[in-house]
């Protein structure tokens, strides 16, 4: 990456090289402005303080070789800078959660309760923490995302050309993902697919929420019953499309919201489930094409400890063995 010698009172201009070709502007800035809150970066873009080729731009714009990005001077307080330092305990959790790794990508068994990226009110996030852990992980990029309270397979690219290849696979729907969820009540055996368009909304409080709506985007999820309990069902969910909160909203729409889903569930007075506050949703498996070998790679993730405890409480579930990968 070549940095321009031109300066406008500490303004920095960067010429995009092959390494950053195809990267989203917001992700590029997050790496360049390390320690700056994501909300602040979006505000800089929105106000036009960040310029691409001397023009205003949007955060999701894809960069190309030769583009020139103007970045205004941004001060980072010592408190924000210190916030980027991860604790040894969290670093160990992440290191122990690596399921599969090559020179070009890795798959993490994401622990529940941690955001995958920064945002307002988020002090620690997975992508920034992992970039700090190893020098060879400095250029890590998320190939997709999981909700904060969802555990399981999370795919990262170590190189920008690998990221582009994985994003293309997601776009073409060739990446296969399997989730396990515990839902309220008895899921019908004949309910094997939900086709319901989803629309994203933002409440007056600023909270993002998704609902089924005729003018929403086409969304499809396939379902299968795995295990039945007295007051709940463990199901397999295979999202055909990749909408925000898709599985959670489709389960709600089917009349069987996910246990512990405080956003899309209902108040539950059932003694077996009333104390559960953790989202019972786990990304159990992901399959994609390896960019080097051009062969399919399938990675599976062990169930989250909290999910294991809930299943044990609901009558134990030990007929499946997760945690190995097949290449």
What 3-state class would DSSP assign to 305?
helix
DSSP per-residue letters across 17-86: -GGGTT-BHHHHHHHHTTTS-HHHHHHHHHTT-SEETTB---TTPBP-TT-EEEE------HHHHHHTPP
**Beta carbons of 152 and 161 less than 8 angstroms apart:** no
Identify the active-site residue in 26, 147, 149, 268.
147
Phi and psi at 78, nearest 5°, equal -60, -30
> How far is 103 from 9, CA to CA, in rounded Å?
40
Decide if 163 contacts 140 (C-beta within 8 A): no
From start to end of the chain, where are the E strands?
2-3, 12-15, 51-52, 68-71, 98-101, 105-110, 141-142, 151-157, 176-184, 193-195, 198-202, 208-212, 220-228, 232-239, 281-289, 296-300, 325-326
Helix 38-46, helix 25-32: angle, nearest 10: 120
Decide if 322 contacts 300 (C-beta within 8 A): yes
To the query of whether residue 147 is one of the catalytic residues in this protein, the response is: yes
DSSP 230: S
Catalytic residues: 147
């Amino acid at each position: 990456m070549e940095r321009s010698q031109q300066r406008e009172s500490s303004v920095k201009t960067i010429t995009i090289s092959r390494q950053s070709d195809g990267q989203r502007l917001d992700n590029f800035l997050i790496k360049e402005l390390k320690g700056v809150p994501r909300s602040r970066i979006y505000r800089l873009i929105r106000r036009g303080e960040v310029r691409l080729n001397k023009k205003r731009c949007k955060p999701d714009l894809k960069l190309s070789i030769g583009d020139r990005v103007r970045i205004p001077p941004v001060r980072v307080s010592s408190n924000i800078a210190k916030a980027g330092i991860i604790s040894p305990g969290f670093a160990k959790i992440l290191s122990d959660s690596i399921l599969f790794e090559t020179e070009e990508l890795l798959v993490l068994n994401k622990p529940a309760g941690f955001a995958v990226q920064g945002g307002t009110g988020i002090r620690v996030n997975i992508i920034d923490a992992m970039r700090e852990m190893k020098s060879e992980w400095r250029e890590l990029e998320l190939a997709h995302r999981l909700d904060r309270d969802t555990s399981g397979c999370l795919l990262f690219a170590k190189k920008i050309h690998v990221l582009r290849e994985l994003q293309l696979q997601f776009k073409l729907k060739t990446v296969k993902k399997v989730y396990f969820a515990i839902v309220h009540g008895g899921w019908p055996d004949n309910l094997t697919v939900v086709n319901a368009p989803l629309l994203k909304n933002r409440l007056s409080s600023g909270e993002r929420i998704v609902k089924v709506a005729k003018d929403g985007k086409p969304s499809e999820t396939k379902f299968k019953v795995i295990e039945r309990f007295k007051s709940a069902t463990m199901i397999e969910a295979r999202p055909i499309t990749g909408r925000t909160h898709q599985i959670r909203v489709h389960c709600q729409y089917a009349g069987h919201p996910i246990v512990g889903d405080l956003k899309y569930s209902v108040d539950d007075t059932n003694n077996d489930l009333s104390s559960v506050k953790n989202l019972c949703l786990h990304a159990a498996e992901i399959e994609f094409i390896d960019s080097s070998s051009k062969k399919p790679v399938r990675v599976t993730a062990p169930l989250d400890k909290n999910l294991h405890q809930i299943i044990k409480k609901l009558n134990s579930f030990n007929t499946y063995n997760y945690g190995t990968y097949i290449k």
